[in-house]
Copies of this chain bind each other. A is one copy, B any other.
């Protein structure tokens, strides 16, 4: 199958603008979506289960009468885990073990130090009490997302994890329930959309109010999450997934072709970019793609994604490749090169870095250990993979000795008066030793 894939050359004038245009993505909720979400969130806030059930019946074509019908009990989750093929259950459990082991390294611990005068300063780390995990339902139901969102919260010590997953027409995904069982979700409620987000943010009779909502969703879910941000915590609003593969031209072109496909098959907006200093190699990868796409079960999505958003970028050398990689700030950065570790110090922005020819993104998506929830659309410039730190919080600790307070008050007092905050100054001055 012929594929039309955009070609850029970093040496040409106007490349920066071409790259900007290639990467441009602003997920805007239109006014219709915003109004619908405003209404749904407000109704669920006011009428709780009654509104939640009404929206669920309407949007998911269900006939729920009482909130209890929305809850999936523990033994049903266990049953799902027993019902799936043994190989799959084992894969889930192996993935769980590896993800847990990696994330344990992220756990922060409390610390404090004592100054000469006896003043103690520190930081106390505590887990969030209760977390909501949104899991999309229907055709794009990903058990791996359950593991990746739930396990960092478990490692952090979150006491209660509530999972919401819509079941359109009552269709339940057994793999998703099995993943919920394997990862230790406490409560599953079969609701989705903006109504599920509102229920988690404000609480209903059936859905307990949580402290933070994580997990991917469609534009209604994303808009609702942004709306309730501040009432509860949220993770990043994800844009379409993307990969940037930097190759030195020495990896089997079939491997690179398939790595790019694995990104493109997500959805039509997914973005796959290949950077290489070798023009001939880019042609070889293109040829491999045109040959390998035919038998792909998702070839239509792959073709649309590649022709709409992919690009092959020719660079002068690896130094220029790293410059472009930093401009892209990719969610997934694959360094399919010899001795990839030499480039690490030059990489300023990337969600996850897949190093060497034997590290395709797919391994990271499922089981290498690091999280697959990563900053998209260049947000790696300022944000990080989902991690244990997202489910922990810090409290500053300040204990002033009488001597310490007396000295600190002499600094605080003039500053407070400089800001015309007299009570601040006097509160400090009371602690100055006479």
Interface residues of A (CB under 8 A from B): 26-27, 84-85, 87-88, 91-92, 94-95, 98, 102, 105-106, 111, 113, 119-121, 123-124, 126, 128-129, 139, 141-144, 175, 211-212, 226, 229-233, 236-237, 252, 254-255, 258-259, 261-262, 264-266, 296-298, 302, 333, 340-341, 344, 347-356, 358-371, 374-375, 379-385, 387, 389, 393-402, 404-405, 408-409, 411-412, 414-416, 418-428, 430-431
Contact = CB atoms under 8 A, between A and B. Distances in A.
A363 B423 contact: no
A381 B428 contact: no
A160 to B, nearest CB: 13
B415 A95 contact: yes
Contacts of A340: 399
Contacts of A398: 352-355, 359, 363-364, 368-370
A412 B252 CA distance: 20
A196 to B, nearest CB: 18
A184 to B, nearest CB: 18
Contacts of A355: 120, 397-400
Contacts of A123: 105-106, 370
Given A105-B113, A394-B387, A415-B88, A359 B229 contact: no
Nearest to A213: B382
Q: How many copies does the complex hold?
A: 2
A128 B430 CA distance: 41
A143 B405 contact: no
A358 B396 contact: no
Nearest to A368: B398
Contact of A428 (B362, B370, B397): B362
Contacts of A106: 123
Contact of A382 (B233, B266, B420): B233
Contacts of A425: 362
A396 B143 contact: no
Residue of A92, A111, A351, A421 ringed by the most chain B CB atoms within 10 A: A421
Contact of A393 (B298, B353, B384): B384
Residue of A26, A230, A365 ringed by the most chain B CB atoms within 10 A: A230
A411 B348 contact: no
Contact of A367 (B142, B352, B412): B412
Contacts of A369: 121, 398
B381 A430 contact: no
Contacts of A102: 121
Given A258-B426, A358-B402, A421-B265, A396 B344 contact: no
A421 B88 contact: no
B358 A424 contact: no
Contacts of A348: 126, 129
A423 B368 contact: no
Contact of A229 (B229, B302, B394, B428): B229
Given A124-B344, A143-B418, A384-B394, 14 more contacts: A120-B355, A144-B419, A261-B426, A265-B422, A297-B420, A349-B395, A352-B395, A352-B396, A353-B396, A355-B397, A362-B427, A363-B408, A366-B416, A367-B412
Contacts of A129: 348-349, 381
Given A262-B427, A358-B404, A363-B409, A397 B344 contact: yes
Contacts of A356: 399-400
Nearest to A127: B348
A350 B125 CA distance: 11
A401 B360 CA distance: 12
30 contacts: A87-B414, A94-B411, A102-B121, A105-B111, A105-B113, A124-B344, A126-B347, A226-B229, A226-B230, A230-B237, A232-B382, A233-B383, A262-B426, A264-B423, A340-B399, A352-B396, A352-B398, A353-B396, A353-B398, A358-B402, A360-B428, A362-B428, A363-B412, A364-B398, A366-B415, A366-B424, A369-B398, A385-B395, A387-B394, A389-B389
A358 B400 contact: yes
Contacts of A409: 362-363
